[in-house]
Structure 1
Amino acid sequence: MSAVLAIGGQDNIRLGINRPREWATRSRRAAMNNMIEILEEHPDDVVEKELESAIWALNEDEQIDLVALAWLGRGDGDASEWDDLRHQAAEAHNNRTAAYLLGLPLLPDYLEEALDQFGESSAAAMEGKL
């Protein structure tokens, strides 16, 4: 799962989220045009392909955990409801897990929020300490 967090973090950088000064210096119209271009789907997106491969490399239980973490971070419950969220994710599990997760534009934020609820950091997860 650490690979998913690391790659997801790269996706935030690609989307320009970590470059506020660059965005602030552009006119509003130019920034909006650039954001639209950045958010468009690109069939050759290496980051997306790496993330999809990392998700597919997870076993079924890990994929279920990842979906449950995304739901937890999205606010579908809190850490005390983990067992219920995980049970729901297990019931919903299918062969489209990667496509589903990649369809969540805030996936890295959701995962980070979920880890925060368990008192863990994304940095620890990326270092493989979880």
Structure 2
Amino acid sequence: MDIAIDRVTDLVIRLRAVEVKEGMTDPASGSNPIDDGSVDILVSGTDYATEDELRSMIDGLNDDERADLLALFYVGRDDMEPEEWRDAVRFAREREAAGEGAATTILRTPIASELLEEGLASLGITPDLSDA
């Protein structure tokens, strides 16, 4: 695998932070978010990744790393078996070339962090996610 496990782990932790955020609980309240203390979101702060930051992180990976990340996602989603790793990477490269890249695919999936973890586990890799 061309992507470092630590890099995948960092992405999983950051994805978790984004996945737990809720949408607005009262979108038609008509009140001012400042007056409400911004209670319409679960978590807000500079320590939490936004989707834009995650997209930048994923897009900042080199081609081989992005292909591996997407292949992990496919294996975790049971689209492919761990024994088909090379095929998964090849398919991931094809998806990237077709414009359905890793960032788009991963960020539009609500349980992406779980799928990446399952992909690693399927390959026999147990990352340290104790900081999550």
Normalising by structure 2, what TM-score? 0.63
**Structure 2 residue 77 is matched with structure 1 residue 74:** yes
Matched residue count: 106
Aligned partners of 1:115 and 1:121 also within 8 Å? yes
5 Å-filtered alignment, 1:1-130, equals 2-16=6-20, 34=25, 46-94=49-97, 95-97=99-101, 98-123=103-128
Aligned partners of 1:7 and 1:51 also within 8 Å? yes
Residues in 1 aligned to 2:81 and 2:50: alpha-carbon distance in whole angstroms: 29
Gaps (5+ residues) in structure 2? 28-39, 43-47
Residues in 2 aligned to 1:6 and 1:87: alpha-carbon distance in whole angstroms: 24
How far the C-alpha of 1:5 sits from its partner, in A, is 3.1
Task: Please give the root-mean-square deviation of Cα atoms over the aligned residues, in Å.
Answer: 3.3
Aligned partners of 1:73 and 1:113 also within 8 Å? yes
With over 3 angstroms needed to count, the CA separation of the structure-2 counterparts of 1:70 and 1:38, relative to structure 1, is farther
Aligned partners of 1:72 and 1:78 also within 8 Å? yes
Residues in 2 aligned to 1:16 and 1:96: alpha-carbon distance in whole angstroms: 24
**Larger proportion of helix:** 1
Residues in 2 aligned to 1:99 and 1:107: alpha-carbon distance in whole angstroms: 11
Percent identity over the alignment? 30
Aligned partners of 1:73 and 1:110 also within 8 Å? yes
Aligned partners of 1:4 and 1:54 also within 8 Å? no
Partner of 1:42: none
